């Protein structure tokens, strides 16, 4: 049975959530998101190669999950870039993040053997409803049926659930959480470099000159955010951690309103409160 998370894990995941929302905001405002995403992952690649001699080698049984996670991350970045092309940060980000913990919670009993208590499952549902409601400003039908940002965001959410489960299982089989994390960043860096080389072959040099500082900052934030979460997967139950991580949507909504001049009204304040109630329920010990 899954129990509440320890205070240390809760604190770490909340820090990761803030870092995650920050790098997504940087990616959203970038002039060339493909190049920025590639430089972010190349930053992780460079840091990973530098740290590699100091971490253990992941066990053989974890490598299929490493490769699966890398493939899913490849799709994740493609769908995420499409989401930001057609929609606002405060719309597509909550939508993508909202469906992911629900999928993880539903699949965890079969794939991981972790069964949420009734109160915790209710917390996941409340959290997801709160997150999803953040995506729609006044429940506008025009926004609801604008299929491009919604479709890309839902596909992004499915990828998030996929690599969450793959990494949660993989890191537990690795015998070296640090080694697993480092190799994941190395493989992701190679994959995104290939995307950028294919799609931005002619003008990648010019794009790098104008956005490298921002991209490297986002890369460091992203690397820290996911490294923290993967390490937490090795210590606690996957579904509650995946759900708690999505507090980043509240931070992203605030960033979108304050810095990007996106709309933020009473509905989103209520939705944020709903998210908080769900998070509290998820992390209460199962009595």
Average pLDDT over residues 122-127: 80
Both tokens assigned to 21:
């929302």
CA-CA-CA-CA torsion sign (29, 35, 41, 42): negative
Would you give the end-to-end CA distance of the chain in angstroms?
Answer: 10
CA nearest neighbour of 190 among 66, 82, 94, 87: 66
Q: Which residue has the tokens 């590639």?
A: 38
The pTM score is 0.82
pLDDT-above-70 percentage for the chain? 81
Residue 2 has pLDDT above 70, yes or no: no
Determine the pLDDT at residue 43.
87
- Evaluate whether 242 touches 279 at the Cβ level (below 8 Å): no
- Evaluate whether 95 touches 152 at the Cβ level (below 8 Å): no
Domain positions in the chain: 7-283
What whole-number distance in Å separates Cα of residue 128 and Cα of residue 8? Answer: 23
**pLDDT digits 0-9 by tens, 207-249:** 677 777 888 898 899 899 999 999 999 888 888 888 888 777 7
Residue 147 has pLDDT above 80, yes or no: no
Residue 139 has pLDDT above 70, yes or no: no
Q: Which residue has the tokens 């995650």?
A: 20
- Evaluate whether 123 touches 246 at the Cβ level (below 8 Å): no
Torsion of the alpha carbons at 11, 15, 20 and 25, rounded to the nearest 10: 130
Q: Exposed, middle or buried: residue 146 (CB in 10 Å: 0-12, 13-18, 19+)?
A: middle
């Amino acid at each position: 049975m899954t129990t509440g998370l320890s205070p240390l894990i809760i604190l770490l995941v909340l820090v990761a959530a803030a870092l995650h929302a920050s790098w997504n905001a940087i990616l959203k405002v970038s002039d060339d998101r493909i190049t920025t995403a590639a430089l972010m992952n190349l930053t992780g690649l460079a840091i990973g190669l530098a740290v590699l001699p100091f971490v253990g080698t992941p066990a053989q049984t974890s490598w299929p999950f490493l490769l699966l996670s890398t493939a899913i991350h490849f799709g994740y970045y493609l769908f995420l870039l499409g989401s930001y092309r057609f929609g606002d940060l405060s719309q597509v980000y909550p939508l993508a993040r909202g469906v992911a913990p629900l999928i993880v919670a539903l699949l965890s009993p079969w794939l991981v053997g972790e069964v949420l208590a009734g109160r915790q499952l209710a917390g996941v549902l409340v959290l997801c409803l709160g997150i999803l409601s953040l995506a729609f400003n006044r429940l506008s039908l025009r926004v609801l049926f604008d299929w491009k940002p919604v479709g890309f965001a839902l596909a992004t959410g499915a990828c998030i659930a996929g690599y969450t489960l793959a990494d949660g299982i993989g890191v537990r089989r690795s015998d070296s959480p640090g080694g697993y994390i480092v190799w994941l960043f190395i493989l992701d860096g190679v994959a995104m470099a290939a995307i950028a080389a294919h799609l931005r072959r002619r003008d990648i040099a010019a794009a790098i000159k104008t956005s490298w500082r921002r991209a490297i900052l986002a890369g460091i934030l992203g690397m820290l955010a996911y490294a923290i979460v993967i390490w937490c997967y090795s210590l606690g139950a996957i579904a509650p951690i995946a759900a708690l991580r999505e507090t980043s949507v509240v931070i992203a909504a605030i960033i979108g309103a304050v810095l990007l001049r996106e709309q933020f009204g009473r509905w989103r304040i209520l939705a944020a409160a709903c998210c908080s109630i769900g998070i509290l329920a998820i992390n209460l010990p199962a009595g």
